[in-house]
Amino acid sequence: MEDRVRVVIAEDSVLLREGLTRLLTDRGHDVVAGVGDAEALIKTVAELAAEGAPPDVVVADVRMPPTHTDEGIRAAVRLRRDHPGIGVLVLSQYVEEQYATELLAGSSTGVGYLLKDRVAEVREFLDAVVRVARGGTALDPEVVAQLLGRSRKQDVLAGLTPREREVLGLMAEGRTNSAVAKQLVVSDGAVEKHVGNIFMKLGLSPSDGDHRRVLAVLTYLKS
């Protein structure tokens, strides 16, 4: 399978962990480990990396034992720092802006933040796992809406047209130009024009490369 990826799952709920494992393996992916706490996650990824067989992506719950507060997100941030080549996709019961901002700070590649309800949308979830594993981005629409809506850089956002804001929101979810065009029922050329205008208005130069798609969102998070 062309998009086959190696996955480590970190989730303290055995039922959910087994469910995610079954969902991924049924689609041809390799779940190389499943753990129930952040410490085991860090250890497992380090061991796999040392063996020369690191996972392509880690799927982790934001809240894990022992306190069920921020262990999962702290482990995710650490993994992004220590193993930048491994994608990190975190799952949360609801949008936690502080955690999302912390996770998205720094590198804009191989990162995702989805609400657990999104797992029920099987195709979207599987697409997100593969996209993050391949160095892309997957942000839940609710996460995007809250991070953009409550940003203190509304003066920057004010420069965008309603359509550009709509395009930006879809970009931040990790969608390609073609996917955005399909969603909005417009041509690829129209989307490319909107994207170009967004980059220009946010001061993102061509030297930023493809990462501009994520930087367009992160601009609002660095205030």
Q: pLDDT per residue over 82-110, tens digit each?
A: 999 999 999 988 777 777 777 777 666 89
Please report which confidence band the pLDDT of residue 152 belongs to, taking 50, 70 and 90 as the band edges: very low
Beta bridge pairs of residue 58: 8, 88
Average pLDDT over residues 194-217: 72
Question: In this model, does residue 154 exceed pLDDT 70?
Answer: no
Phi, psi of 161, deg, nearest 5: -75, 165
SS3 content of the chain, % helix, strand, coil (to 5): 55, 15, 30
Tell me the whole-structure pTM to 2 decimals: 0.68
Higher pLDDT residue, 53 or 199? 53
Contacts of 207 (CB under 8 A, 6+ apart): none
What does each C-alpha distance from 174 to 25, 127, 183, 191 come to in angstroms?
Answer: 23, 10, 13, 14
Dump strand ranges (E) for 44-151. 57-61, 87-92, 111-115, 137-139
> How far apart (Å, rounded) are the C-alpha atoms in residues 51 and 184?
45
Least confident of 91-105, 155-169, 186-200, 204-218: 204-218
